[in-house]
Amino acid sequence: MADADKPDAAVPRTNFIDGFLRSPFSGIAPWIVMAIMSGPGRLGQAAAAALALTLIVMWAGSRRGIKVHSLEVFGAVVFAGFVALGIFGSPALVNWLELWAGEITNGLLAAYALATLAIRKPFTIAYARDTVDPEHWDSPLFIRVNYTLSAVWAGAFVINTAVGTFGDAVLHDGDNFWTGWIIQLAITLIAVAITEFYPDYARAKYLAASGESAEVPPSFGKLLDWLPGFVIGIGIAGWVSGALAAAVGIALIVVGILAGVLMRKLFPEEKEETT
């Protein structure tokens, strides 16, 4: 069983595109596009972009011998439905969808992720099986990691649904800088960071506990690699868009730069490994 969790159990990834297509991000990315792009006057464009990205992922994957995953099929159906409603729906319906499309998208994705957990087929397993040899699919560690990652993403989708709903229903501002963009993007980046961090961490802990390896688990500091750049991005976006006062935007940029310097000093090994 331990062999299932060693690096040589994985199917080699030849390049970035193959790695992307074999990861859950390829199925989740179109939903993120839909949730972020949707808003007043942008329903058709958001749905068309998400549908196009989904079809590209499915086509590119099939060209590389990667099977189509249920998340991609589900996404294609949902996005095609949004496109159709945008074209044939009444003006009142389109206006309503433009306000709530982001929350509907996040809610549907949350329901999908939770359903896969409920039926004991966490959606990330389908992608993990693209990179792990079949004889390792029943490894308890392999299964536990995918339950954890699927639960993390389900939680992220639920939180983003709630945040977007708060912006629309309470603040009455579907394009609110914080609820419509920054908080949801931060939650998504946290889920991405956990997805990249947890499999290596869980494997190292398991092998150490079984006495098969003295490999040191990655530091939790790796979970924060994205934060300095994100803070800088908030400062720039808020300053340029006028959502933040110039002084606040500049302050965030400075804080982000200083945080990056501090993290390089606190977690030098993690920084070296990612370069």
Alpha-carbon gap, residue 36 to 113, rounded angstroms: 19
- Look at residue 10 and give its three-state secondary structure: strand
Say what the pTM is: 0.87
Q: Please give the Cα distance from 102 to 164 (Å, whole number).
A: 7
pLDDT string in tens for the chain (275-residue length):
344 444 444 444 457 788 888 899 999 999 999 988 887 888 999 999 999 999 999 999 999 899 999 999 999 999 999 999 999 999 999 999 999 999 999 999 999 999 999 999 999 999 999 888 888 899 999 999 999 999 999 999 999 999 999 999 999 888 899 998 999 999 999 999 999 999 999 988 888 887 776 677 888 888 999 999 999 999 999 999 999 999 999 999 999 999 999 998 888 764 444 44
In angstroms, the CA 92 to CA 95 distance is 5
